[in-house]
Chain A
Amino acid sequence: MDSAPSEIPRLALKILVAGGFGVGKTTLVGAVSEIRPLRTEEQLTAAGRGVDDLGGVERKTTTTVAMDFGRITVRDGLAVYLFGTPGQDRFWFLWDELATGALGAVVLADTRRLTDCFPAVDFFERRDIPFVVAVNRFAGTRDFRPDEVSRALDLDAGTPVVRCDARQRASGKQVLVALVEHASTVHAARTPVDAVVGEAR
């Protein structure tokens, strides 16, 4: 029997797909990757973290949160993992973990309900996580120019806004490429020292 490699030579990168309810998160992850549901059992009472009452688990309310999870293999040893964030507000605490160390995020926006993506935009801006806004076009909506969306969402000038049809693989790919290009610029501009301090929190 072969022995396992002595080192783990693989590199894993994490991209989040966020946005309001029903905006196309699952569709996007599924269009560009082999999608699998990922279950987490969350104790809603433990949302504040740091709970170490190991004996009392059975009495706490737990709920199952399903996340979309997909993997794109770039090459042997380099993979990108996509996580569709759960939409409901009460699972916000899960986002913190997902966002830690993320390369960047796609915030999906539906022009009929643009405000639905405010919380996601806020979240990533506050944490300095590079993101792009991808505007999904649903039937019966007029075409919004990226700069209109950018103004309506009060985005920083550097934050890209791209059109997208989450059902189309080619379109989903373009969104991800836009994100990684943006993230690459943002990360290159940051000094490693900042990054280390940011990690240590």
Chain B
Amino acid sequence: MVRPYTMTGGRTRPEPEFDLIALVVGDVDVTPELPVGPEQAALLRLCRANALSVAELAAETDLPVGVVRVLLGDLLDAEYIRVSRPVPPALLPDEHILQEVIDGLRAL
């Protein structure tokens, strides 16, 4: 159970600063010279072309969410990624968005 944290050097991030639906986009291409570990490289590749949520990154890499948060924290510190905070529903920029969601759900 503890092993995954060896790839984070035993660190955890006490506060969830990356919401599960925060969107992450990679700003650099993964090259052999890029000083990142294999897990971080995998995360970078996943969100390079398209922004992905933290939850999707965890599901795709099959890593626990806590581990992904630590790894993303490093990538953010290195400015290899950008992270957007989710918009609280009450502050949605456009009141028609929820109607779009309703229509989209009906059309599923």
Chain B associates with chain A = yes
Question: Would you call A124 an interface residue if the criterion is a C-beta within 8 Å of the partner chain's C-beta atoms?
Answer: no
Do A81 and B53 form a contact, CB below 8 Å, given A10-B23, A58-B2? yes
Which of B29, B59, B91, B101 has a CB less than 8 Å from the CB of A13?
Answer: B101
A173 to B11, CA, bound (A): 40
A41 to B47, CA, bound (A): 23
- Tell me whether B49 and A78 are in contact (CB under 8 A): no
Q: What's the nearest-Cβ distance from chain A to residue B87, in Å?
A: 6
Q: Which residues of B contact A187 (CB under 8 A)?
A: 89-90, 92, 98
Do A43 and B12 form a contact, CB below 8 Å, given A5-B25, A199-B88? yes
A152 to B60, CA, bound (A): 41
Q: Which residues of B contact A58 (CB under 8 A)?
A: 2, 5, 10
* Chain B stretch 1-30: residues in CB contact (< 8 A) with chain A: 1-2, 4-5, 10-12, 14-16, 19-23, 25-27, 29
B contact residues, range = 35 or more
Closest to A77 in B: B51
Q: Which residues of A contact B58 (CB under 8 A)?
A: 38-39
Which of A69, A181, A188, A196 has a CB less than 8 Å from the CB of B91?
Answer: A196
Q: Which of the listed residues B53, B86, B91, B105 has the most CB atoms from chain A within 10 Å of its own CB?
A: B105
* Chain A stretch 75-96: residues in CB contact (< 8 A) with chain B: 75, 78-81, 83
Contact surface of A with B, Cβ cutoff 8 Å = 1-2, 4-5, 8, 10-14, 32, 36-43, 46, 49-52, 54-55, 57-58, 62-64, 69, 71-72, 74-75, 78-81, 83, 97-98, 100-104, 169, 173, 176-177, 180-181, 183-184, 187-188, 190, 192, 194-196, 198-199
Contact surface of B with A, Cβ cutoff 8 Å = 1-2, 4-5, 10-12, 14-16, 19-23, 25-27, 29, 48-49, 51, 53, 55-56, 58-59, 62-67, 82, 84, 86-92, 95, 97-102, 104-106, 108
